[in-house]
Amino acid sequence: MLDSPPGATDARVTSASAKVVVAVLCVGSLCASLMQSLVIPIQGDLPRLLDTSVSNASWVLTATLLAAAVAMPVTGRIADLAGKKPVLVVSAGLLALGSLLCAVSSSLPVVLTGRVLQGVAMGFVPVAISLVREVTPPHLVNTATAAVSATLGVGGALGLPLAAWIAQSFDWHALFWLSTVLAVMVAALTAALVPHVKDEHPGRLDLVGAIGLAIGLVAVLVGVSKGTGWGWTDSRTLGCVVGGAVVLMVWGFYELGHRDPLVDLRTTVKRPVLLTNLAALMIGFGMMAQAIVVPQLLQLPEATGFGLGQSILQAGLWMAPGGVTMMLFTPVSSRMLSRVGGRVTLFAGALVISLGYVVATFLTDAPWQLMLASCVVSAGVGIGYAAMPTLILENVPEEEAGSSVGVNALMRSVGTTVAGAVMAALLSSRTISLAPGVPEIPGHDAFRLCFIVGAASAALGAAIVLLIPRGVPGAVPGELEPVSRGR
């Protein structure tokens, strides 16, 4: 193991060892983020596979997204208190357990439990990002941060074609047997190769704050994600959104008065941190829009006059180059972070995402055109995603690194959830009918409207980035004075 000596204040390893550690962290983060798209190819078959209703089956996807949203800031805080390596190993173990439950059962309650555990394992990602800066030599920090950050998008992009191929070629349980094997491998590699950094900080986990955050977030996100199906004026939608917002307001007042809060809101509202998180919300929206809209347009029948008649597997393969593009732009992001800093890098990434949607608005006549647009959007994600945690880490105290990166990841997750609801509403707002008695489908104008909204969201994110105060390129995080807490 690459454990640092007892009492060591700097756990940075050699360049060769650092590359091994970063590779392990990237694989772990990739496997965790893969879970978000794992069931999309079989989503339409889940009611039959699990012997349940369509409404109940939809929770198989939603449960993972909700669990991930709550887990990322909570796991980040636990890592700040207990150390990052133990949390990474436990997260990988939860991923393995959740995957195993789904692999051995066709019962909805058991599968939902497994999917929740898979969502909780998403806490691996922000902890891995915050650990990178503690174990890599300075000249590799930006490259490593960019690589691990990019896995948030790469996992979802590559997961779709992989899952579609497995679902079409084997029993659906094979999806989860694969994720079980990957998770066990990640847990073993993390335990063996990731250094144990002496980065524990004194304090206690704010359990009341964690419960309050969970209740508020889940309520709001359930309302947003189910709003299209339930109806935006339905009492269930309004109850979830309004009730969740009230809980989050009460939670905020509680956190401000707590001596050792789950999330230090005084740090969160600092201008650089607040604006970076707002930009993350808009850019997360922009990233997810193409992941929702492009596959649908690819799979619509050619009889519509604008659909491209691709199968689920073909659509996934057309989307796969986007994931590769994200990885290829990781070194570009690294060089930009070193030369011009996180602010300019994030601004450039957001503009490229917006440009990708502009391309998609005018190029929808062939699969390769949508692939091109998807690659442009993915390039923007690859450039910008590494800049967000970099900006966060440069502006928060070291003892809050994990929780702060977790909150930033949460904002991206909220953006993707909102994108799902908005895109669904837009696609249902302009529909056409192919024949009497046949369910209506989104019209071509609905897809173009989605692309326009995606472009506007990313452009707004870029505008927000311009309001972030200028920093020093390559600034070392953790050199800030601690923010005083409430008494």
Residue-wise pLDDT tens digits, 405-456: 888 888 888 888 788 778 878 887 777 776 666 567 788 888 889 899 999 9
Specify whether the CB–CB gap between 281 and 411 falls below 8 A. yes
The CA distances from residue 385 to 104, 271, 275, 321, in Å, are 35, 19, 15, 18
- Write out the H or E segment, with its range, that includes residue 432: strand 431-432
- C-alpha–C-alpha distance, residues 110 and 63, integer Å: 12
Instruction: Record the pTM.
Output: 0.79
Residue given tokens 């756990």 in the structure block: 11
Q: Given this model, what pLDDT does residue 96 score?
A: 95
Helices then strands, each counted (H, E), the chain: 19, 2
Dihedral (CA of 141, 143, 148, 153) sign: positive
Angle at CA of residue 131, ends 127 and 134, nearest 5° = 160
pLDDT of 477 > 50? The answer is no
- C-alpha–C-alpha distance, residues 117 and 162, integer Å: 21
pLDDT of 9 > 50? The answer is no
User: Which amino acid does the sequence have at 427?
Assistant: L
157, 202, 155: which is closest to 35 by C-alpha?
155
Q: Given this model, what pLDDT does residue 302 score?
A: 81
Q: Given this model, what pLDDT does residue 201 score?
A: 65
List CB contacts of 235: < 8 A, sequence separation 6 or more. Answer: none
Phi, psi at 270, each rounded to 5°? -60, 140
Q: What is the per-residue pLDDT across 151-181, written as a single tens digit (0 to 9) for each?
A: 776 776 677 777 778 877 788 888 899 999 9
198, 194, 287, 236: which is closest to 55 by C-alpha?
236
- C-alpha–C-alpha distance, residues 194 and 96, integer Å: 18
Mean pLDDT of 478-487: 41
User: Which amino acid does the sequence have at 230?
Assistant: W
Token couple for 61: 């996807």
Q: What is the per-residue pLDDT across 203-218, written as a single tens digit (0 to 9) for each?
A: 778 888 889 988 998 8
Parallel/antiparallel/unpaired status of strands 441-442 and 431-432: antiparallel
Query: What secondary structure letter does DSSP report for 6?
Result: T
- C-alpha–C-alpha distance, residues 112 and 69, integer Å: 16
